[in-house]
Amino acid sequence: MRSRDYPGVQVALSMMFAKGLLRRGYGLARTGDGESVQHRAPGIPALWLVASFYVIAYVLLDGLDDIQPVLKLGIAPWNPQAGLTLAFLIYYGPARAWLTAIAVVLAAALTSGTTLSWGGMLVPVTLIPGGYAAAAWLLRPQPGSWTHRLPLDAPIDSSRYVFRLIGVGVGVALLVSAGLTWPFEAAPHWPADAMLQGFSQRWIGDLNGVLTVTPLLLAAPHWRSALAAIARRRREVLAQALVVVAALALLVWLWMDVKLRVLYPMFAPMVWIAFRWGVAATAFYTLVSEIGLLMALRGEAPTLAGPQLLLLTLAATGLLLASVVAERRASEVRLRERDKALARAMRFAALGEFASAITHELNQPITALVSYLRSAQILAEPLAGRDPRLLGTLNKAAQEAIRTSDILRGLRDFYQGAPPQLAVVRLEDITASALSGHEERLRQHGVRLHDTLRPGLPPLSCDRTQLEMVVHNLLTNALDAVVAGGGARREIHIGAVRAGSDVLLTVEDSGQGVSSEITAQLFNPFVTTKADGMGLGLAISRSLLRSQGGDLLAERSMLGGARFVVRLPMAAAAQLAP
């Protein structure tokens, strides 16, 4: 079987390879109130496996090239390997571009029949990886960048990101194609119009590959839910498939028989799919239309620039439409979450009244209790000689009474929404103090603590006591999880990094992770899986952090358990520093 005769089969094969890559990629987890956070899934396959998946998929896809006699370069109607490369480098980082260089050499040697000399190969081997590495850097995932304002699941759900993808895609396709065509300009036997045709077909082909394959791979977090939805609504899918086939048939008829080079028939199913199924399905539809049309128009090579441009329009419109629909859905989710948050706030306010009344009632007797205990200490002093434990016991009783009074006051302030006392705080001090409270339990259960906090982190602007409460609670939960997990690996990692004008503090553990039953309500009050738990720790921690301009997010940890990320703004002076 000559690979180029069966583009559909080859794309399917390559997609299977590509899906393997995504096992390691950043999937996205939904947390408490619908927010999405980036996480790296556990069980990362070894790099050689990922690399082979990518390189094999690249070579297979490169075999699709319809080499034209115009230039020695493989000029294809579309270059899906360009899209695969971009997605790969976005997921795994531009530094992996050396794998692209290997793929380019292998593809040239195995499939495209290129007869370029070693010197001539230098251009593609440096330009393709270099260009796509730069593009991937421009499109790199920035924590929170697309999930910050709306609860979006994948980068491609945001229309801003789609615009960026189109812009960067145009740039890299132009750069790579110009670079690859340029060496031939010097050769006098290449006619100028052939050069131009080669250049334009190459860059549009690259861009088409980017706009069809990259979004489909970047929409990977939706694949599973899209398949589940398809399984639920089979009839609608069947109806859509029929409409797609009819549209393709109409299109081919218009092109071949009527010689009417239009793409309108493909738009109706696209709009339907974008509205009903979202970004992943729309990207898939664009891919299918592209393959269908190119197969139908085989042999029309010299006129390929026309279909290429039309497919480009279809891909760009489809993506933008689907991402706008995704954004709309996300903002609806956010509105619903707001409603729920409001209801929760009302409950909190009621609790606040209750706490305030109790504090008021209990404060006086407790204050009296403290002063009686102090008097008892003085009265007991002459008796201390007989039994020294008496004074110590009275002292402990007084301390506990004072602590009770503090807790009650803290609870009242919290429920009544007392403003946080913002101060400039050093994170190292907070974690050191929270850790000292857990030393005994860590030792008792043989839990290893990795504290990677480096001195020199910028100071934070936050309420010191409240942040201590949060970190204390996260460590307690991590310890509970590790101990309950009962596994041989007992680890807690604590670290911090600077992210823009914020600092991210992470506490992660090797426990069994957040139970799937409560993931969706993790940050809601009174949600707990512990027999003696109140289920208030995370709810209160998040409220406290948000009232200080920060946040608390949950992710999956590479240690196997949960990872909680505290985000807090840096102190104003530190923000000015680089």
Q: Does 533 interact with ligand ADP (rule: CB under 6 A)? A: yes
- Nearest 10 degrees: Cα torsion 274, 277, 283, 284: -130
Q: How far is the CB of 162 from ligand ADP (least distance, A)?
A: 35
SS (H, E, C) 122-155: HHHHHHHHHHHHHHHHHCCCCCCCCCCCCCCCCH
Are 476 and 562 contacting, i.e. CB atoms less than 8 angstroms apart? Answer: no
Q: Does 526 bind ligand ADP (CB under 6 A)?
A: no
Residue located via tokens 């000559």: 2
16-35 residues near ligand ADP, rule: CB under 6 A = none
- For 514-539, the DSSP string reads S-TTTGGGTTSTT---STT--S-HHH
CB of 559 to ligand ADP, least distance (A): 10
The only residue of 221, 269, 561, 569 in contact with ligand ADP, by rule CB under 6 A: 561
Task: Rank residues 17 and 564 by Cβ distance to ligand ADP and give the closer one.
Answer: 564
Q: What would the 3-class secondary structure string for 256-294 be? A: HCCCCCCCHHHHHHHHHHHHHHCHHHHHHHHHHHHHHHH
Structure token digits, residue 97: 């571009």
Nearer to ligand ADP, 398 or 566 (CB): 566
CB of 538 to ligand ADP, least distance (A): 3
Name which of 490, 494, 509 is nearest 451 in CA terms.
494
Site residues for ligand ADP, window 484-513 (CB under 6 A)?
509, 511, 513
Contacts to ligand ADP from residues 453-482, by CB under 6 A: 473, 477-478, 481
| CA-based end-to-end distance of the chain | 58
Q: Please report how close the Cβ of residue 507 comes to ligand ADP at its closest, in angstroms.
A: 8
Q: Which is nearer to ligand ADP, 32 or 77 (CB)?
A: 32
Q: Does 298 bind ligand ADP (CB under 6 A)?
A: no
Choose between 311 and 539: whose C-beta lies nearer to ligand ADP: 539
Separation of alpha carbons 450 and 440, rounded Å: 16
State the Cα angle at 140 between 332 and 124, rounded to 5°.
135
Out of 148, 336, 347, 530, name the contact with ligand ADP by CB under 6 A.
Answer: 530
CA angle at 513 for the pair 507 and 518, rounded to the nearest 5°: 110
Q: Which of 167, 179, 219, 206 is CA-nearest to residue 81?
A: 206
The reply on whether position 392 binds ligand ADP by CB under 6 A is no
Interface size with ligand ADP, residues (CB under 6 A): 24
Told to check if 562 binds ligand ADP by CB under 6 A, we report: yes
CA atoms within 13 A of residue 145's CA, in its CB half-sphere:
14
| Residue 546 Cβ vs ligand ADP, minimum distance, rounded to whole Å | 15
Window of 84-92, 181-189, 329-337, 525-533 that interacts with ligand ADP by CB under 6 A: 525-533
CB of 167 or CB of 533, closer to ligand ADP? 533
Minimum distance of ligand ADP from residue 37's CB (angstroms): 14
Please report, as ranges, the residues that interact with ligand ADP according to CB under 6 A.
473, 477-478, 481, 509, 511, 513-515, 518, 522, 527-530, 533-539, 561-562
